[in-house]
Amino acid sequence: MRILAALAFALALVAPAAAQTTLIRDGRVVTNTGAGVIENGDVLIVNGRIAAVGATLTAPSGARVIEAQGRYVTPGAFAAMSELGLNEISGSGAPDDASVEGELVSAAADVARAFNPAVSAVAVTRMEGVTRAAIAPSGTATMFGGRGALVAMDGGPDSIFRERAFMVLELGETGAERTGSSRAAMWPVLEAALRDAREYPGRYRSGQGGAVLNELDAQALQPFANGQGLFLVRMESAADIRRLIRFKRDNPQLRFVIHGGAEAWQVADELARSQIPVLLDPLSNLPDRFERLSARLDNAALLHRAGVPIGIAPAPGTVDAHQARLVLQLAGNAVANGLPWDAAFAAVTRGPADAFGVGDRLGRLERGYAADVVIWDGDPLEVMAAPTTVLIAGQEQPLSSRQTRLRDRYNPAGRR
């Protein structure tokens, strides 16, 4: 009886939402599709998905109508790399699930098991128009950085929409540091680890064990080593990227996305031929690491021009749990440095969705896509703009957070 009641309650929670129909009317609709930008466009949302996008849609009876009044209507932003939900406060000795310490596991670390949708950063992030995020550990003890997940920013219990979406693989300075302090050791260890994973469980059951991986890590790595999962490879230098392209040629079944790629512009044509996407930081222009000596502000523009798929993410080493909202500012700065606006906006929406293999349902305003829709009070890549409405899978999100509560408590303009 109690179970039945609970079930009825659960259905009651879902049912009205599932039946909900919303029409957003008269917006500057950025579709991220061949339809481009539709002036005075409408977006019809039924049951959490986009049902239609066009110039003049009719609201079905009972539909909620949101007047966009000519404002930008766009897909929600996709933060291509963050530690969102893995801590409330990242320093101060507070609990931090982003950082995986010790030798117990590395590849097997799984942030889907750590993500907490209730952290205050989720609300802070979504009210800035970010509706989805890729999350990963900040680091482990080895070159295998653990398994990342894709999450929605709705703060609900089912926020994780893809577990084990990718395996972080450190193959730059950081990877070398963790592997005998040398790239000369890193690559042979990588190859040995892939063999361990492919030969799991046989060599572990036989008692032979792994050459370099423990059993847990070998098991976790196996699908990725067999081409069934995506490696998110952190590297910056042109020399490292060339090595990866060559490695991909010899191991065509493996799937890679580069995170970092500050010097990728130097190998843009090779990257375009290999169609390895790059998640890059448009602000990366300091030679702060030796692997980033030729970082430059127009990296995004040069890669885009060459035909390399790009997404925008904070540079490795600057990824955090609190400022994923700044991806739109990063994209605006890419525009300031030569990237066309459409490409820049795509790089914080469609680009990450495509790179993570969910581009068939996220990142576009197109029939059948999840209705992550944001209405803005200005150009979304402008630092002074902000959302006025945020929908995730058709559900309107509160534009409030712990920060707005503090704001209202101390506002000298008297709003409380």
- What is the contact surface with other proteins in residues (CB under 8 A)? 88-92, 94, 120-121, 124, 238, 263, 266, 283, 285-290, 293-294, 296-298, 320-323, 326, 329, 332-333, 335-336, 381-386, 403-404, 406-407, 410-415
Q: How far is the CB of 151 from other proteins (least distance, A)?
A: 17
Q: What DSSP element (H or E) covers 147?
A: strand 144-152
CA separation, residue 382 to residues 128, 373, 374, 378 (Å): 12, 18, 15, 7
Contacts of 16 (CB under 8 A, 6+ apart): none
- In the complex, the smallest distance separating the C-beta of residue 51 from other proteins, rounded to whole angstroms, is 32
| Residue among 112 and 293 whose Cβ is closer to other proteins | 293
CB 97 within 8 A of CB 370: no
Nearer to other proteins by C-beta: 179 or 329?
Answer: 329
Separation between Cα atoms, residue 202 and residue 158, nearest integer Å: 35
Nearer to other proteins, 214 or 285 (CB): 285
Q: How far is the CB of 121 from other proteins (least distance, A)?
A: 6
Closest CA to 32 of 369, 363, 377, 378: 363
Nearer Cβ to other proteins, position 9 or 290? Answer: 290
Minimum gap (Å) between residue 258 Cβ and other proteins: 18
Nearest to 160 by CA among 116, 109, 95: 116
Radius of gyration of the chain (CA): 22
d(CA 180, CA 354): 34
Q: Which is nearer to other proteins, 125 or 222 (CB)?
A: 125
Give the whole-angstrom CA distance, residue 139 versus residue 141.
7
Instruction: Give 34 or 412: the residue with its C-beta nearer to other proteins.
Output: 412
> How many Cα atoms occupy the beta-carbon half-sphere of 331 within 13 Å?
31
Report in angstroms how near the CB of residue 165 gets to other proteins at its nearest.
24
In whole angstroms, the minimum distance from the beta carbon of 150 to other proteins comes to 22
Q: Shortest Cβ distance from residue 101 to other proteins (Å)?
A: 17
For the chain, what percentages of helix, strand and coil (3-state, to nearest 5) are there? 30, 25, 45
Minimum CB distance to other proteins smaller for 193 or for 300: 300
**CA 170 – CA 336 distance, rounded (Å):** 30
